């Protein structure tokens, strides 16, 4: 048995194994258990899943060997670790690493905007350094089934050990607050045009949590939409990958994706770029939207005719 779901280090041994042993199985005899973290990036085309190194760590040596043999039939490179706990901790570290670094650039974005400095141009400049820097990009908030949630498994476990997880908690706070920042920019942009957010027609472009996928799990678009509706804005959305807004744990909107036309764009008081899908007709948006709030730094590549605010 090989587990791939993210968990805190020790879950396989502390929780899964006792459940299996209650059924009469014995580890190392008729039961072999390992953990192998999922490693994928939905929508990304420049990595063959078979070329991503596959970590495996078992609850005993035989479990590790069996899982390595199993996965080697599908993956070209295997990396065996000493225990399931190491494999579990590696997965948690990978997700926390992304969460913390995304929070860093999101915080930098807020600071640099106040100083009238473009964060995307700063990242481009910093990326010319051939060592000691990896580019992460800001956005409207975190989404997906991993990064917004998984780091808190370790936070919960660390609290049981009496250890504070300041980086994890702070990164989560910064990223969770990004929809509030986006809505504040929408409000500011509308006010700059002598328009109140109350009653304003606002179109969200993209509700998936990332580009070129149909996955809306934990999408920041849901919180942006809720905040806009709380301010009584008239909100609609367009997403070529998600025809109707899915029911979520904390959100439910009776909305369907509207057609992206010149007339629909021109009728909006504000168009908000939440997800930069390649399938969206960006030249059409650039030509007909009179006010754009861009959270992904995408519209500047298409010579927009209207006013553009970055958020």
Confirm if 96 and 50 have CB atoms less than 8 A apart.
Answer: no
Query: Would you name the residues annotated as active-site residues?
Result: 146
- Measured CA to CA, the distance from residue 127 to residue 136 in angstroms comes to 10
- Measured CA to CA, the distance from residue 138 to residue 296 in angstroms comes to 7
Cβ-count burial of 198 within 10 angstroms (0-12 exposed, 13-18 middle, 19+ buried)?
exposed
Residue 89, both tokens: 């901790």
| Sheet strands (E) in 201-306 | 201-205, 234-238, 270-273, 291-294
Helix then strand then coil, in percent of the chain rounded to 5, is 40, 10, 45
Identify the H or E element spanning 140: none
Sign for the pseudo-dihedral over CA of 215, 38, 124, 104: positive
Ramachandran category for residue 260: left, alpha or beta (phi over 0 → left; psi -120 to 50 → alpha)? beta
């Amino acid at each position: 048995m090989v587990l791939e779901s993210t968990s805190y280090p020790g879950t396989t041994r502390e929780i899964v194994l006792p459940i299996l042993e209650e059924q009469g199985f014995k580890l190392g005899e008729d039961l072999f258990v390992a953990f192998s973290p999922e490693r994928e990036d939905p929508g990304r085309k420049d990595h063959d899943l078979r070329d991503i190194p596959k970590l495996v760590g078992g609850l005993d040596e035989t479990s590790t060997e069996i899982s390595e043999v199993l996965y080697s039939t599908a993956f070209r490179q295997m990396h065996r670790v000493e225990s399931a706990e190491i494999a579990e901790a590696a997965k948690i570290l990978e997700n926390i690493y992304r969460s913390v670094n995304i929070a860093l650039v999101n915080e930098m974005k807020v600071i640099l905007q106040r100083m009238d400095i473009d964060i995307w141009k700063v990242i481009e400049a910093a990326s010319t350094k051939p060592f000691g820097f990896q580019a992460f990009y800001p956005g409207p908030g975190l989404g997906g089934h991993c990064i917004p949630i998984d780091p808190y498994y370790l936070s919960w476990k660390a609290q049981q050990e009496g250890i504070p997880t300041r980086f994890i908690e702070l990164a989560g706070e910064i990223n969770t607050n990004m929809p509030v920042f986006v809505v504040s920019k929408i409000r500011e942009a509308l006010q700059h045009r002598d328009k109140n957010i109350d009653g304003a027609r606002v179109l969200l472009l993209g509700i998936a949590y990332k580009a070129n996928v149909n996955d809306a799990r934990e999408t920041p678009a849901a919180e942006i939409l809720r905040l806009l509706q709380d301010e009584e804005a008239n909100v609609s959305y367009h997403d070529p990958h998600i025809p109707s807004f899915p029911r979520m744990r904390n959100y439910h909107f009776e909305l369907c994706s509207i057609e992206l036309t010149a007339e629909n764009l021109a009728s909006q008081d504000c168009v908000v770029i939440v997800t930069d899908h390649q399938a969206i007709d960006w030249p059409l948006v650039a030509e007909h939207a009179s006010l754009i709030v861009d959270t992904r730094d995408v519209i500047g590549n298409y010579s927009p005719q209207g006013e553009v605010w970055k958020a």
